Amino acid sequence: MNRRSLLLGASAAITLPAFGAKAQTAQITGAGASFPNPIYQKWAEAARGPTGIQVNYQSVGSGAGINQIRNRTVDFGGTDAPLNAQQLTEGNLLQFPTVMGSLVAIVNIPGVGDDQLRLTGPILADIYLGKITRWNDPQIVAINPGLSLPNLVIAPAYRADGSGTTFVWVSYLSAVSQEWKDRVGVGTSVRFPAGTGARGNEGVAGTVRNVRGAIGYVENAYAITNKLVTTQLRNNAGVFVKPEHKTFMAAASAANWNVPGFAANVIDTPGADSWPIVAPTFILIPTNPTDATRSANVRRFFDWAFVNGSKLAEELEYIPLPNSVHDAIRASWRQSFGA
Amino acid sequence: MASASATPPQAVSRRSGSFGEKVFALVCQAAGIFVLILLGALIIELFIAGLPAFRAFGIAFVTSTDWDPVRELFGAGVSIYGTIITAILAIIMAVPLAFGVAFFLTELAPPWMRRPVGTAVELLAAVPSIIYGMWGFFVIAPTFARYVQPTIIDTVGELPLIGFLFQGPPFGTGLFTAAFILAIMVLPFIAATMRDVFEQVPPVYKESAYGLGATTWEVMKGVVIPYTRISVVGGIMLGLGRALGETMAVTFVIGNANRISTSLFGPGNTIASLVALEFGESEIGSLKLASLLALGFILFVLSFAVLATSRYLLRSRLKV
């Protein structure tokens, strides 16, 4: 690892001599998705010494991040919902993923402990469509033979603010339920047919904690740090899996990254061990930067993060990208910006 | 005084004084006009920015209950409904309380209590709205969810005719909770106005009524209220204006659902909270952003109308 980072550092210094002189004070700014904010801040702090790059990232939301990079008011934008190939071409933008995160369902049912309840995608979709309204619904009871489920109203909670978390959640519901796809669809904010909205992860978690019978969805990192009651989910292979490191990694390696803008679909991937709701978060950089030095520094920062940042990411419960994806991203940089 | 004997320095200072006065007058005039221009520019800017939404949906934008960002269908109906319902409910809860406070402070309280209680009520207005939001979400909503709402749902919710207003799962958040928080937030504005106008009733009127053997309640009902009626309504409108535009506290507790629920315990949305929640995820040039700005325009017009009415009703009392 170390030798590799040295080599990369050296090659970067040779190929991009301009910032060698300015390395001490190089500043880059970014704005966008709030989901990867903790890891970007951590990377920024850790990279300042070795790279001499100071990163200022503002977590203003994916939509605002896209706006700001389109207007070129920042050096890079962050988004959870990937842009498609046409949008990238129109905006003269290059897109690449940085890390992945996973979503978990959290519940508040008396007598049901962590990872005890089993749910399937279609059941989740029906709960959020308002079609399954009680916890002792025959469909839920049938797949939970060992649990005694109370006759309690299900209170679905969702993110009220537009967010990448919602985008990933409804992407999953759309993937597993045709009715969800037709009636609601996919977006950073959608028209939820049932339930109540709350602001941010903390709002959803708070609502679930307060209301008996509530169900919600949050990022796994948030569920772990707040000790929330999560559930098992049935994956694409028909196996019930728990939200844990092993199942997240299995999902990540099963995805096909060879698509425009690296907009890989890590939702409901095949494989007996795969956790069904995993999603990458993306960075957007201009392919026609106004300031070549700053643009190079952005790439140098993320290159540093790819080489050195995986451990930090795992500490914060993010899922690092496979090394093959890192290499593919570097190849795409070379293609757009030269060697 | 202004004789020829005036020394040159005096003359100079007088000249510069009149020049300074002119400058000062101009600056003040500019400041006044600036505010007027700013207000006008805000309205025009909001309207222009929201125009694409009005063009796309026409007048139906105001009544449509659609808010579907995926299909790009936007309507203001749900949030206008939520805004008006929460504001009116808040006023219904706040007015009796404010009346009690004002009546107590002007007629019943011993003099040593008037200042502390009056100051406490005014200080309620100084609490930042985010504090009310957190208090609402972490204290009031769980209490409502656990104790208040289940009880009401099981009792009043079972009644015919009005039962439907109090049904549904007890989330704790929702229109009712939002209105409750709003009521506490607008209380100081209404109470302070009421107290001020009650105090302006000429003592001779009240004393005559007491002289005729009227009780305190009869004096209130027969003299004070009729004398101050219009100003009291003005004060209530002032509170209503506040309630319409409140954002942060409401966002925390209203449940943020873009659909109209018949139950008061159901989740809803207000214009201000919808704009606050969706702004970060709206791309420049998108119909969604235009719709949000159009919503801002509608809220502006709504609050402006309410506050203008309040000013109009209060004009005579506040000038005295």
Give the residue-averaged pLDDT of A7-27: 51
Q: Which residue from A163, A190, A196 is facing B267, i.e. has the nearest CB?
A: A196
CA angle A203, A132, A197 (to 5 degrees): 20
Nearest-CA distance B266 → chain A (Å): 8
Q: Is B82 within 8 Å of B68 (Cβ atoms)?
A: no
- Across the A:B interface, residue pairs with CB atoms under 8 Å apart total 102
pLDDT at A91 over 60: yes
Q: Compute CA distances A301 → A30, A53, A339, whole Å.
A: 12, 7, 16
In the prediction, which pLDDT does A140 show? Answer: 95
Q: Which one, of B215, B191, B180, lies nearest residue B89 by Cα?
A: B180
Per the document, the length of chain B is 320
Distance CA A134, CA A140 (A): 9
| CA distance linking residue A55 with residue A47, whole number of Å | 9
Q: Do residues A177 and A125 touch, judged by C-beta distance below 8 A?
A: yes
Gap between the Cα atoms of A337 and A316, Å rounded: 32
> Which residues contact residue B285 at a Cβ distance below 8 angstroms, ignoring those fewer than 6 apart?
none
Q: Which of B137, B255, B279 sits opposite A196 (nearest CB)?
A: B255
A-side interface with B, Cβ within 8 Å?
60-64, 66-67, 70-71, 153, 155, 160-163, 184-193, 195-199, 203, 206-207, 210-211, 213-214
Look at strands B67-68 and A93-107 and give their pairing. unpaired
**Closest chain A C-alpha to B165 CA, distance in angstroms:** 17
- Give the whole-angstrom CA distance, residue A222 versus residue B209: 67
Give the per-residue pLDDT at A12: 46
Q: Residue B3: what pLDDT?
A: 47
Nearest to A318 by CA among A329, A334, A337, A305: A305
Instruction: Answer for the pair A300, A26: CB distance below 8 angstroms, yes or no.
Output: no
Q: Yes or no: say if A218 and A103 are a contact pair by the CB < 8 Å rule.
A: yes
Query: How near does any CA of chain A get to the CA of B53, in Å?
Result: 18
- pLDDT for B1 equals 41
- Across A24-38, A165-179, B217-231, B271-285, the highest mean pLDDT is recorded for A165-179
Name the residue with higher pLDDT: B78 or B318: B78
Q: Return the structure tokens found at A252.
A: 């990540």
Taking any CB pair shorter than 8 Å as contact, residues of chain B touching chain A are: 66-71, 137-138, 141-142, 145-146, 169-174, 251-252, 255-259, 267, 277-284
Give me the pLDDT at residue A24, please: 57
> Which of B17, B131, B80, B281 is CA-nearest to residue A160?
B281
Position A217 scores a pLDDT of 95
* Token pair for A19: 């910032």
Taking the C-alpha atoms of residue A127 and residue A34, their distance in angstroms, rounded to an integer, is: 27
Q: pLDDT by residue (tens digit) across A24-37?
A: 568 999 999 888 98
Chain B contact set for A184 (CB, 8 A): 70
Q: How confident is the model at residue A271, as a pLDDT?
A: 87
Separation of alpha carbons A182 and A190, rounded Å: 12
Q: Which chain B residues touch A153 with a CB distance below 8 Å?
A: 169
How does pLDDT run across B21-57, given as a tens digit for each residue?
899 999 999 999 999 999 999 999 999 999 999 999 9
Which ipTM was obtained for this model? 0.71
Q: Which of B281, B283, B288, B291 to mutate to test the interface with A (most CBs of A within 10 A)?
A: B281
- B185 Cβ contact list (under 8 Å, min separation 6): B90, B124, B129, B132, B242, B243, B246, B249
Which sign does the torsion angle of CA B11, B15, B21, B24 carry?
A: negative
Which candidate from B66, B71, B282 shows the least CB-CB separation from A185? B71
Average per-residue pLDDT for chain A: 87
At B68, is the secondary structure helix, strand, or coil?
strand
Contact A153 B169 (CB under 8 A): yes
Cβ pair A61:B138 closer than 8 A? no
pLDDT of residue B300: 93
Largest Cα separation within chain A, whole Å, is: 69
Residue whose pair of structure tokens reads 């910032």 in the numeric block:
A19
pLDDT above 80: residue B180? yes
Q: How far is A106 from chain B (nearest CA, A)?
A: 16
Give the model's confidence band at B291: pLDDT under 50 very low, under 70 low, under 90 confident, else very high: very high
Q: Which two tokens stand for residue A88?
A: 């990238």
Judged by CB atoms closer than 8 Å, whether chains meet at B281 and A163 is answered as: yes
Would the CB atoms of A196 and B257 count as touching at under 8 Å?
A: yes
Put simply, the answer to whether B69 touches A198 (Cβ < 8 Å) is no
Tell if the CB–CB gap between B280 and A162 is shorter than 8 Å.
yes
Give A198-228 pLDDT, tens digit per residue: 888 888 998 898 888 899 999 998 888 888 9
The C-alpha of B307 sits at a distance from chain A's nearest C-alpha, in angstroms, of 29
SS3 B73: strand
Nearest chain B alpha carbon to A203: B252
Distance CA B205, CA B209 (A): 6
CB A211 within 8 A of CB B171: yes
Mapping DSSP onto H, E and C, the string for chain A reads: CHHHHHHHHHHHHHHCCHHHHHCCCEEEEEEECCCCHHHHHHHHHHHHHHHCEEEEEEECCHHHHHHHHHCCCCCEEEECCCCCHHHHHHCCEEEEEEEEEEEEEEECCCCCCCCCCEECHHHHHHHHCCCCCECCCHHHHHHCCCCCCCCCECEEEEECCCCHHHHHHHHHHHHHCHHHHHHCCCCCCCCCCCCEEECHHHHHHHHHHHCCCEEEEEEHHHHHHCCCCECEEECCCCCEECCCHHHHHHHHHHCCCCCHHHCCCCECCCCCCCCCEEEEEEEEEECCCCCHHHHHHHHHHHHHHHHHCHHHHHHCCCEECCHHHHHHHHHHHHHHHCC
pTM, full prediction? 0.79
Q: What is the rounded CA–CA span in Å between residue A247 and residue A243?
A: 7
Find where tokens 């025959």 sit: A138
pLDDT in tens, A101-130: 999 999 999 989 999 999 999 999 999 999
What are A26's two structure tokens? 């190089």
User: d(Cα A63, Cα A60) in Å, to the nearest integer?
Assistant: 8
Least confident of A139-153, B118-132, B154-168: B154-168
Which of A190, A199, A213 is nearest residue B277 as measured by Cβ atoms?
A: A199
Which of the 8 DSSP states describes residue B230?
A: H
Which is more confidently placed, A265 or B14? A265
Q: How far apart are CA A125 and CA A110, in angstroms?
A: 22
